[in-house]
Structure 1
């Protein structure tokens, strides 16, 4: 009989939250890691992206919250979660906030680079129970004295391998020095290279080891390599025609290549935008939300997006050029075929990539299918996305909720409920997906009637 969350001696209120969140039974990483973490042990876990690891450490974190500190006037940070990217930190914080509903008045704070420091300082003045953030910004607040970690009982290193790849080892060591001498460490990583093993030895005390990377059936991913010769862009266009998908992530090795690909594909009628490490936070939010809303067909990214983006059902991944690191290739391909779905990964192999292709081919357990270019293939006009995302100039600070937006659209605007897609609220603005046929109707009604008696400016979302 498989494990159940009720087997973990969790409080009834927390079990009710898990049920409300549709967590029917724990995944392998959750079943293995949660009991060990609840015992207070250090845990060294190997788990792939999409395996449910956030809940695997999130449940113990919210279970161990000290109610007296949560309700007290001197609220102190009890747990610290360190993530390699802003996107992952926001996603992790979102999951923990949902899990923490069982503990009234708990506060989960996100501290990431790319966001203004002032509002973070204001939030820290009022304290927090769990802090989730990126190494650089967390360390900056520690040095300023605005983030005090002397009450932390547990710290989590999520995707530790990625943080080491990004050069954060010294930052993580410095953060550790700011923690109490007695604390619990939960370390999650997809791979364990020698550098990570050394780091684990330094930060973990007699850890319990969990490895579910090979648990269950391997994802069913079909790999194709399209041999494009010298014309990489023509090869990319043909790859998108041969293996069409409603949405896909396209990986490039550099930011310059990302910009070139976006420009070229827009000329050919594709709905496409790029995400890179140095974008403004608001631009990143809009691009990722548009992709989640299904109003953006293609997302072009450097390897910063190979980890930490919460895109559960991705039908297609395209390598515009092959990565220099074989591990990066594995991570890229692993973005598709998740949660039991079949996946498709296509790589455009140019003459310049021939040596990389040979190296990768030798390392793949199952060699990809090789396809030549078809000189006779005609270029069709790409289909437009089913949704258009509208941007409203009011958000959470105006006390708006998703239900308010839905009510305005199905009420005064007269839209059927199935014409409204995903609604994403930010502090100062809101993004809402509308089926293409209803976009003008929705835009006109929102401009005329507003939302909850609040006047709003509305326009189709413009992406960078």
Structure 2
């Protein structure tokens, strides 16, 4: 153990949690766990930023299990702690973590995940008698509240996981409806891998005398980022070449839209590479099966939209490839964070053609890095911009999944009404 590090058994967690951590092979907390767990145990509000794969889920799950299990209000469908997440996959993943960490606790914690795409009736039945920990996407949670399946007025702790996404305009209306149902006196925890400046201001509006942890750049990088410039017409061929030459057996490829995923999978098939697609048109059961098969190494290439950027946790995923750029610079960081997790080495490769150059510079500027442009032999980009690329530059970028057409109010205006200073 290096200087400044502690062991998990030095943290004031219940013996049952310590025993379970030992079974799971957890010996030393990561930096965010080491700093966050004592603060959460103390009951204060917290704003925590740390790299993807740095152990943020355990940083809030362990102290919440310590503080809240066995203390749920009786006599109704009450919940002790609410964890809000942006995607179905992340909801299930976080709930599974709570179940695993709390396996030795007595009474056994009741942990539920609720999200769309599956039967609401099953979730309503599961919520009878309430829950210690409820992990939810906002839309399905509001459906359950409207059906009187769950009560939120005795929540003791609220967590926004992937808080940057939860505070974005896409979730404004639903998030503020949820916030209006919660008691003002509670612990509020915000965790994310990225906190753009505009989101930090909104986040602080939800917190009261909060502690802050920002660790995104503290650790030695385990993820190598590379950028290849290529003509648009040769991008798929370069992707296939990289997969074959490197003999990657587990590759996550990001495209910007559902149609792009489908077309790319078809093009790769013509190159002799079988790929599956992962996007919101897939039924939830099919999405679950795809993720499980990919994690188990049964699928070599998974082509996904950004719904996979925040809901996939795979040990030692060797490579992530950005076939198309995300609209949001924050989503770029979440995409590449699927590799190089928990100290494992990984590689993130981005393929950019002429019409991507400007947007990638914006991604670099917002995320405060600069990458060397590389040319792959035999796939070099033209020095001059082709006429075909000029035509594509005039077209708007595809909207990310989950972006509605409905006009929404700006979050700060609503938060000022809902979140007056706590007494």
For 1:308 and 1:372, how far apart are their aligned partners in 2? 31
Contact 1:150–1:180 under 8 Å retained in 2: yes
Aligned match of 1:77 in 66, 79, 87?
79
The partner residue of 2:251 within 248, 253, 261 is: 248
Within 5 Å, give how 1:202-281 maps onto structure 2.
Answer: 202-281=205-284
Q: 1:16 to 1:373 in 2, by over 3 A?
A: same
Note if 1:371 corresponds to 2:392: no
Q: Deviations over 1:155-192 (max 9, x none)?
A: 11101112233611232222122122311001112222
Is 1:8 the equivalent of 2:11? yes
Query: In structure 2, what is the equivalent of residue 133 of structure 1?
Result: 136
Are the aligned partners of 1:69 and 1:75 in contact in 2 as well (CA < 8 Å)? no
What CA distance in whole angstroms lies between the structure 2 residues aligned with 1:236 and 1:300? Answer: 12
1:95 corresponds, among 59, 83, 97, to 97
In the other structure, the counterpart of 2:44 is 41
Q: How does 1:162-177 map to 2 (within 5 A)?
A: 162-165=165-168, 167-177=170-180
1:323/1:130 Cα in 2 relative to 1: closer, same or farther (>3 Å)? closer
Written as runs of structure 1 = structure 2, the 5 A alignment for 1:192-211 is 192-211=195-214
Distance 1:153 1:359, change over 3 A: closer
Structure 1: which 5+ residue stretches go unaligned?
A: 377-464
CA distance in 2 between counterparts of 1:239 and 1:324 reads: 24
**Equivalent position of 1:106 in the other structure:** 109
SS in 1 for 2:116: coil
Rounded to whole Å, the distance in 1 between the matches of 2:51 and 2:363 is: 20
Any idea what SS the aligned residue of 2:159 has? Answer: strand
Residues in 2 aligned to 1:191 and 1:198: alpha-carbon distance in whole angstroms: 13
Maintained 8 Å contact 1:226/1:373: no
Q: Mean Cα displacement is larger for which, 84-93 or 266-275?
A: 266-275
**Which blocks of at least 5 consecutive residues in structure 2 are unaligned?**
381-423
Q: Residues 419-442 of structure 1: CA distance to partner in whole angstroms, max 9, x if unpaired? A: xxxxxxxxxxxxxxxxxxxxxxxx
Residue-pair matches, total: 375
| TM-score of the two chains, using structure 2 as the length reference | 0.82
CA distance in 2, matches of 1:149, 1:10: 26
1:436-455 matches, within 5 Å, as none
**SS in structure 2 opposite 1:98?**
helix
Q: What's the TM-score once normalised by structure 1's chain length? A: 0.75
SS in 2 for 1:209: strand
Q: Contact 1:223/1:345 (CA < 8 Å) preserved in 2? A: yes
Contact 1:59/1:99 (<8 A) preserved: yes
- Counterparts in 2 of 1:229 and 1:105: CA distance versus 1, 3 Å: closer
In 2, Cα distance between the equivalents of 1:108 and 1:277?
A: 25
Corresponding residue for residue 420 of structure 1? none
**Structure 2: how far apart are the matches of 1:269 and 1:180?**
56
> Deviation per CA, 1:234-272, whole angstroms, max 9, x where unpaired?
232223234431111111111111000111222333231
Give, in whole Å, the separation in 2 of the partners of 1:336 and 1:166. 27
Asked whether the equivalents of residues 265 and 275 of structure 2 are also in contact (C-alpha less than 8 Å), the reply is yes
Q: In the alignment, does 2:314 pair up with 1:311? A: yes
Larger Rg: 1
Distance 1:360 1:156, change over 3 A: closer
